[in-house]
Every structure is written in C-alpha cells, then in structure tokens.
Amino acid sequence: MHTFTFVTPGKVVCGAGAATDGRLAAEAALLGKRPLIVCGKSLAMSGMLEKIQATLPDARFHIGVPPEPTLADCTAAQGSAKRCDSIIAIGGGSVLDVAKAAALPGNIYDYFDGKLAVPESGSDALPILAVPTTAGTGSEATWVGVFTDKRGTAPKKASIRGGAMLPRTVILDATLSASCPPHVTAYSGMDAFVQAVEAFVSRGANPFTDPLALQAAFDIAEWLPSAFRDGENLEARERMLIASYQAGMALNTARLGLVHGIAHPVGARTGAAHGLLCALLLPPVIRFNLGADLDRYSDIAIGLGAPREDLAAFAEKWLDDFSIPRHLSELGLKRTDFDAIIAETLVSGSTKANPRTVHESDVREVLEACW
C-alpha cells in the first residue's frame, strides 16, 4: 500500500530556441500581462536577455541573483515584483529559487521561520514560468527554494516549500545552457545525478518518482561527459536539461537523502558550489547506505554498467574525470565546524528521507571519510 503525493508543473515546452523564438512569450502571455523577469547577470552579458526582452516588451527586470542566495536577496526580488502579475525565472538554481520567493505575497522571513505557510497555487501568489539555464538543481520542476539565513552567528541554509512555488510552465531550451562553462556543467550535472540517486533510494520514493529518477540517473551518466567536453553539443545539453528536470520531478515529493542533508550546512559555511559538495559526498554516503542492504543501489549500478557492490568507486571516478576536489579540507571548512554541521544535518528533511537511519556518529564518519 502506498501513501504519497505527486505534483509537477502543468506544462513543459522543450525545444532549441524556444526561449527566443516567441514560444516563451506565448506561454508567458497565458500567465500575465506584466511579468517580472528574474535572472542572473550572465544572461544579460551573454546577449541572450536582449533577445528574450525583444519578445516581451512589457516585462520588468530583476537582474543579478548571487549564488547561494540569502533571504535578503529574496526580499529584494519581492520588492521588484510589486506591480507585476507574473514571474519569469531564467537562470540556474539560485535564480529560480529567488524567483519562486519573489512570487510569494508574505514576508520571506516568516515563511523561513515557519510562522507562515507557503500558500497553495492559485492564491494571491504570482504564477511562475521557469526557464533553466543549467542542467542541475531541477528547481524548475519543484516547489522548493533553498536559501541562506544570515541573521544568526553562523549562516543557516534551509528550504521553503509549497504549492505556490511550483512553476506553472517550464521552457527547456538547450541553446541557453550552451555557454555554461565546463566546471559549472560538471557541478550542476553531478547535483542532478545525486538528486536522481537520492530520490530513487529515498524513503519517500513512490511508483511515479521511481522511473523518473532511474531514467534521469542513466541519462546523466550517458550525456554529462559529452556536455562537459563540448558545451556546444546541443543534443547533450538538451538530454541533460530533460534528465535534470526528471530528477527534479522525482525529488519534489520523493525527497532526497544524507548527501543533501550534509551538503547544505557545509555549503552555508564554505560557499562551495552545491553540486561540487554533492559529488564529493556521494561515495561515502553510498558506502554508508549499502550497510542497510539496498537492492535499489543494485538497480542503479546495473543500469550504469557499474559493479553491483561498488557503485561508490564508480561515482568516485567521476570526481577525477570532472576535476572535482575529493576533500572537504580543500574547501576552507574547519574541523571545529563539525559539531554544528552534524547537528544541522540530523534535523534536515533530506536526512530524514535517507533510506538508512542516520546517527551523529554516522555523519561524523562521512565527514571524516572525505576530509
């Protein structure tokens, strides 16, 4: 017997050029007349924003969302959204997350602190059209935003989630990710791979998320090396966009696991790229979870052509292939932060979805394994 909820954006439009040839504008017109475009500076610098703007003459702009965005970044975007009736989010995971926050009617700190629930879709929140420019977080497929709270003595990274944050429409246009540099392609691609794996083995996995997560993992393994080597390979870029979207569809309700439980507090302290941290943490977390006898890891290993008992070693090889650091000590993390990281990991929703119950000593062991 199953008990689950499964929800995804209502419409996906996939095709090279869809962001600039009028398809994005046509979809945006179905959501509102005065959209706010939320994007990063790189979209403006690449000249792509100008092309998109030409199809959306009534749009306003909120340009410049930093990586690992804070709650203050969300408040700024909410300010830009005043007098707009819809949101068009174009960018990587950080941009998409901030754009989701911009769509919300209430005080962002109240949502973060749990004093206010994110409303359901169709409320006075603004409808969202999402256009990913990296194949990674799958944020375009989820009702989750991950933000850093800098009010306390140590920055705290956590998520806000709810129906109104789920994009209504998604555009997947491979031409937008063609200029993504190789290291960003690798980090974000590994984030997508880890999300697919964690969603597949999660306690929240269900019959709808399983095929999406598994297919995403296989496709990322097949196409990420090509996208990394040759960014202009539009077929590889498109397959990666579709796969990371599928992983996002899966994780939205299946949730994630211990890799993400640890990656957030480490990321908040080091500022290291999220995908880099996920890639680095995956092998020791697989080794820990295999202790719970997981046939599901075998399903993944068989599909990848990896040894059934050593998927971790297979994933470790990718760190070298994509020039991803192997050690947390290389990223500016301090050992004195371990206790606080462990405490935050243990209460994270991702950790609670991990297939094997996680104790304090387990988190310490994983941290030590990649120290």
Contacts of residue 52, defined as CB under 8 A and 6 or more positions apart, other chains included, come to: 19, 20, 24, 37, 90
How near is the Cβ of 219 to Fe ion at its closest, in Å?
17
Q: Is the dihedral of CA 354, 358, 360, 365 positive or negative?
A: negative
- Count of residues in the chain: 371
Q: Where are the beta strands (DSSP E) in the chain?
A: 11-14, 35-39, 60-63, 86-91, 128-132, 144-149, 156-161, 169-172
Secondary structure letter of residue 128 according to DSSP: E
Q: Are 314 and 301 in contact (CB under 8 A)?
A: yes
Whose Cβ is closer to Fe ion: residue 127's or residue 257's? 257
Task: Supply φ then ψ for residue 139, to 5 degrees.
Answer: -60, -30
Q: Residue 203: what residue type?
A: R
How near is the Cβ of 156 to Fe ion at its closest, in Å?
17
Whose Cβ is closer to Fe ion: residue 140's or residue 191's? 191
How near is the Cβ of 147 to Fe ion at its closest, in Å?
14
How near is the Cβ of 30 to Fe ion at its closest, in Å?
30
From residue 281, alpha-carbon distances to 12, 71, 124, 297, 328 in Å are: 32, 26, 39, 16, 9
Helix, strand, or coil (residue 89): strand
Whose Cβ is closer to Fe ion: residue 86's or residue 270's? 270
How near is the Cβ of 259 to Fe ion at its closest, in Å?
8
How near is the Cβ of 366 to Fe ion at its closest, in Å?
16
Whose Cβ is closer to Fe ion: residue 121's or residue 159's? 159
Whose Cβ is closer to Fe ion: residue 191's or residue 316's? 191
Helix, strand, or coil (residue 266): helix
How near is the Cβ of 362 to Fe ion at its closest, in Å?
20
d(CA 370, CA 368): 5
d(CA 230, CA 232): 5
Whose Cβ is closer to Fe ion: residue 20's or residue 185's? 185
Whose Cβ is closer to Fe ion: residue 191's or residue 344's? 191
Whose Cβ is closer to Fe ion: residue 138's or residue 355's? 138
d(CA 44, CA 53): 10
Secondary structure letter of residue 87 according to DSSP: E
Burial of 293 (0-12, 13-18, 19+ CB in 10 A): exposed
How near is the Cβ of 54 to Fe ion at its closest, in Å?
33
How near is the Cβ of 98 to Fe ion at its closest, in Å?
16
Residue with tokens 């690992």: 68
Which parts of this chain interact with Fe ion (CB under 5 A)?
191
206-233: b (≥16 Cβ within 10 Å) or e: bebbbebbbbbbbbbbebbbebbeebeb
Q: Are 137 and 249 in contact (CB under 8 A)?
A: no
Whose Cβ is closer to Fe ion: residue 37's or residue 341's? 341
Whose Cβ is closer to Fe ion: residue 32's or residue 248's? 248
How near is the Cβ of 213 to Fe ion at its closest, in Å?
13
